Amino acid sequence: MNYKQLSQEIKKKKSFLCVGLDSDINKIPGHLLEKEDPMFEFNKAIIDATAEFTVAYKPNIAFYESEGAVGWISLEKTVKYLKNNYPDIFIIADAKRGDIGNTSNLYARAFFSKMDVDAVTVAPYMGEDSVSPFLTYDDKWVVLLALTSNKGADDFQYHTDKNETLFESVLKKSQAWAGKEKMMYVVGATRAEMLADIRKIVPEHFLLVPGVGAQGGSLEAVAKYGMNENCGLLVNSSRGIIFASNGTDFAIRAGEEAKAMQMQMQVLLENVSF
Amino acid sequence: MNYKQLSQEIKKKKSFLCVGLDSDINKIPGHLLEKEDPMFEFNKAIIDATAEFTVAYKPNIAFYESEGAVGWISLEKTVKYLKNNYPDIFIIADAKRGDIGNTSNLYARAFFSKMDVDAVTVAPYMGEDSVSPFLTYDDKWVVLLALTSNKGADDFQYHTDKNETLFESVLKKSQAWAGKEKMMYVVGATRAEMLADIRKIVPEHFLLVPGVGAQGGSLEAVAKYGMNENCGLLVNSSRGIIFASNGTDFAIRAGEEAKAMQMQMQVLLENVSF
């Protein structure tokens, strides 16, 4: 999926919601554990209940990997289910990968060729040649970590060289590696006011914003400081939606939560010209 | 495995060699492709031929992940084979993971509980809470990226705040998270002369040094600048050993290459008191 198509989906659905499929086997409703593949059954029900309000899904790879090969099968089935039933939805593998060139090549193959998702989150620590292998696929994206929403973000991301923080260096340097058609950035919502400064560096790129909801960020603040003329935002919510209930009504409740966010987003999108 | 046990293995085997199991399905000898699980068959033969000269193996997770669930099964079988047949060998999952706390928890579970390796490589970009979940397991280690051996290392790792580069900050700050018993650092051999300065910051920790051989670093220089009184080094070689031949003699040739490195290491270890 390319920049224009993604923007059009946002316009059509009046939503810039990304639902995080952090489908922890220890948290999914008990009645699903009798099924042959509980994680997949959970995801399928969540997807069917929320797809109408959502432009993207973001499976967090750790939750699958922690179950070993069995978890990878659940993940592969989930991606296939999305591609077959909701081909216009953007899929982000939240993997935070990044290694030397020949290794990143293999990670890119895993996610873009073997699994066929649209985007992968990548950590920038190892620099350009750790990121560029992900940029060689048509209409596939890197979502590069810039300023994350966790406490540890303070440890290194504000390391300041000649008045430029590390995350600002990441935003600036990486623009030479790819433009807004292939690169997005992770910017945490817990620091929404910083989005205004970040927008000065990357006015046109999509920003993937985690940390709204469970992690405490405000959707209004994210839109106020981060939205651009094409929207340019994907706001992720995971636990607040997928674990809204752990009873048999989990999918209905997830749909309600997703709808509530979509309705807020619809109002916020009225300021966007498209 | 703890610090003392690992040091004793080095002393016993007169080797600080780590063999990188970068078992690319596209590079393994053709005659193995007829087998039911070619990657595992390849690894098994390589391990049996090299274990005598080796204190550690480092499967590079990308090479398994790129084959999806099938690759994960090969990886799980490889780790199990090592644990059952060579229980005194240290296993490093070269995964370069790192995410917010609850997600890193799951990655730690994947590698330490589900798979039972000894160590995982972790990227420091997201700071303490992305690393600490890996530090909660007894006798399990984090191998934190500090100064990597690739070209892109220059992009951010030398970002300098008050005369302190980012990789120096990583080395300094992370010592508050864990001591030499649970933390190692990746330091690339292509910059061996920098090991002397790095040793001033982390005199006692183990350093995992990639980049000897195929990537051009010199073993002598690494030992000269990086060795401490307990050796304190694990030097990795991947392609130079495992792909020494792609004929039916691949395992024999791998054993010869590993033995050659072990013999060099034996000489270099004569300077170590233990």
Angstrom distance (rounded) from CA B101 to CA A67:
18
Instruction: Establish if B144 belongs to a structural domain.
Output: yes
Mean pLDDT split into 10-residue runs, chain B, 274 residues:
96 98 96 97 98 98 94 97 98 97 95 96 98 97 96 96 96 98 93 90 96 74 94 96 97 97 95 75
Kindly state whether B37 is in contact with chain A, defined as any CB-CB distance less than 8 angstroms: no
Respond yes or no: is residue A96 known to be catalytic: yes
Q: How far is A217 from chain B (nearest CA, A)?
A: 15
DSSP string of A138-159?
TT-EEEEEEE-SSTTHHHHTT-
Query: In this complex, how many residue pairs, one in chain A and one in chain B, have their CB atoms less than 8 Å apart?
Result: 173
pLDDT, averaged across chain B: 95
Residue-level pLDDT at B151:
94
Instruction: Establish if B274 belongs to a structural domain.
Output: no
User: B61 near A99, Cβ under 8 Å?
Assistant: no
Token pair for residue A56? 């993207």
Residue-level pLDDT at A214:
54
- CATH number for the domain harbouring residue A267: 3.20.20.70
What contacts B264, CB < 8 A, 6 or more positions away?
A: B219, B220
Instruction: Establish if B246 belongs to a structural domain.
Output: yes
Nearest to B68 among A67, A100, A114 (CB): A114
B148 to A100: CB separation less than 8 angstroms, yes or no = yes
What global pTM score does this model have?
Answer: 0.96
Residue-level pLDDT at B130:
98
Residue-level pLDDT at A247:
96
Angstrom distance (rounded) from CA B97 to CA A130:
14
Instruction: For residue B92, give the H/E element and its range.
Output: strand B90-97
Residue-level pLDDT at A58:
98
pLDDT at residue A246 greater than cutoff 70? yes
SS3 label, residue A245: coil
Angstrom distance (rounded) from CA A268 to CA B55:
58
Instruction: Establish if B31 belongs to a structural domain.
Output: yes
Cα separations (Å) of A222 from A50, A152, A201, B134, B140? 22, 21, 16, 32, 39
pLDDT at residue A251 greater than cutoff 80? yes
pLDDT at residue A189 greater than cutoff 90? no
Residues of B with catalytic function: 96
Domain that holds residue A242: 3-271
Residue B149: CA atoms inside 13 Å, Cβ hemisphere, count?
Answer: 27
Kindly state whether B107 is in contact with chain A, defined as any CB-CB distance less than 8 angstroms: yes
Complex prediction ipTM: 0.95
| B24: chain A residues, CB-CB within 8 Å | 106
Q: For the beta carbon of residue B162, count every other beta carbon within 10 angstroms.
A: 8
The domain total for chain B is 1
pLDDT at residue A215 greater than cutoff 60? no
Per residue in A108-165, pLDDT (tens digit) is 999 999 999 999 999 999 999 999 999 999 999 999 999 998 999 999 999 999 999 9
Residue-level pLDDT at A127:
98
Instruction: Establish if B129 belongs to a structural domain.
Output: yes
Kindly state whether B153 is in contact with chain A, defined as any CB-CB distance less than 8 angstroms: yes
Residue-level pLDDT at A226:
95
For A138-158, letters b (16+ CB in 10 Å) and e give eebbbbbbbbbbbebbebbbe
The residue type found at B186 is V
User: Of B165, B139, B148, B103, whose CA–CA distance to B4 is shortest?
Assistant: B139
